[in-house]
Amino acid sequence: MRSMFVVVACAALFSCGGPDSLRSMWPSDASVHVTVVRDDVHPTYRCDGQVQTRFGTAIFSCTAEGFEDWDVRGDAEQFMLPDVMRLWIHSADTALQPQPDIAIDLEPQGDRYSGWATVVLPDGSFAGHPGASAEAWIEGSSDPIPSSEPRLDPVAR
């Protein structure tokens, strides 16, 4: 009976990719595009941005009803948990706050990632507004720009 348990446990572990499956899918040196949207509860918001995984940096442009547009630029902490990739984006302006400006949990979905997010709106309360959906992809792999179209190099601007 014990040997049967070991066989079943090993089969389940390897069929799901094992504990390193997320680690092997998350790029260590890439630009990951992330879109965060909350459109069903007030206040609605949207943030679009890029995470540079090698340097642990990010830049997001955000909009929300009742607020002027704002940017979140700063560090991107990356945590590989057993079933999700967690990103904490800290603006350089609020680096001393313990809560990230944008918190994202992503699960692999084929060659893309999806999950949830919480965003701190620029209202001075430093309170997170949860309930957003999050989508991400490695730029150059399955992004919406066809590979035949030229890409703009953000460094060359």
Q: In Å, how far are 5, 7, 36 from 2, measured between CA atoms?
A: 5, 9, 46
Task: Please tell me the distance from the alpha carbon of residue 89 to that of residue 34, in angstroms, as a whole number.
Answer: 12
Q: In Å, how far are 16, 58, 78, 141 from 3, measured between CA atoms?
A: 20, 48, 37, 42
For 12-127, list the strands marked E by DSSP: 31-38, 45-52, 57-64, 70-80, 85-91, 102-109, 112-120
The pTM (predicted TM-score) of the whole model is 0.75
From the list 149, 143, 151, 82, the residue with the least C-alpha distance to 111 is: 143
Containing domain of residue 98, as a range?
20-138
Domain-embedded: residue 153: no
pLDDT, residue 151, reads: 36
> What's the mean pLDDT in 37-58?
96
Domain-embedded: residue 79: yes
Domain-embedded: residue 154: no
Domain-embedded: residue 155: no
Greater confidence (3 vs 31) lies with 31
Question: Count of domains in the chain?
Answer: 1
Domain-embedded: residue 148: no
Q: CATH no. for residue 51?
A: 2.40.128
Is the pLDDT assigned to residue 61 strictly greater than 80?
yes
Domain-embedded: residue 134: yes
> What's the mean pLDDT in 47-53?
98
Domain-embedded: residue 12: no
pLDDT, residue 96, reads: 74
Helix (H) or strand (E) holding 135: strand 128-138
